[in-house]
């Protein structure tokens, strides 16, 4: 699983720490969602999932780097 951080500016040390804290908070929730909603045969380690975390718009979405089959299911 990959998180792409979109900050709208250069990520300084303070913002980098916030990103780490947010990722620590998001991961368990996202993993639970994936386990509950996806066939794990295609991507059992979640490495095919890529998420955009837009700190400006305050939203998380699946990136276009995620395989089309998984994007369509969401």
Over residues 64-68, mean pLDDT: 88
Which pLDDT does position 35 carry in this prediction?
87
Which H helix or E strand runs over 33?
helix 13-37
How many domains is the chain built from?
1
Question: 51 is in which domain, residue-wise?
Answer: 2-73
Using DSSP's 3-state secondary structure scheme, residue 7 falls into coil
Residue-wise pLDDT for 29-62, tens only, equals: 998 988 888 776 767 888 889 999 999 898 999 9
* Cβ(22)–Cβ(70) below 8 Å: no
């Amino acid at each position: 699983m990959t998180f792409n951080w979109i900050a709208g500016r250069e990520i300084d040390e303070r913002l980098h720490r916030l990103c780490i804290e947010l990722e620590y908070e998001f991961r368990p929730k996202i993993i639970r969602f994936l386990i509950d909603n996806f066939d794990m045969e295609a991507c059992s380690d979640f490495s095919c999932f890529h998420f955009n975390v837009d700190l400006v718009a305050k939203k998380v979405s699946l990136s276009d780097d995620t395989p089309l089959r998984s994007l369509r299911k969401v």
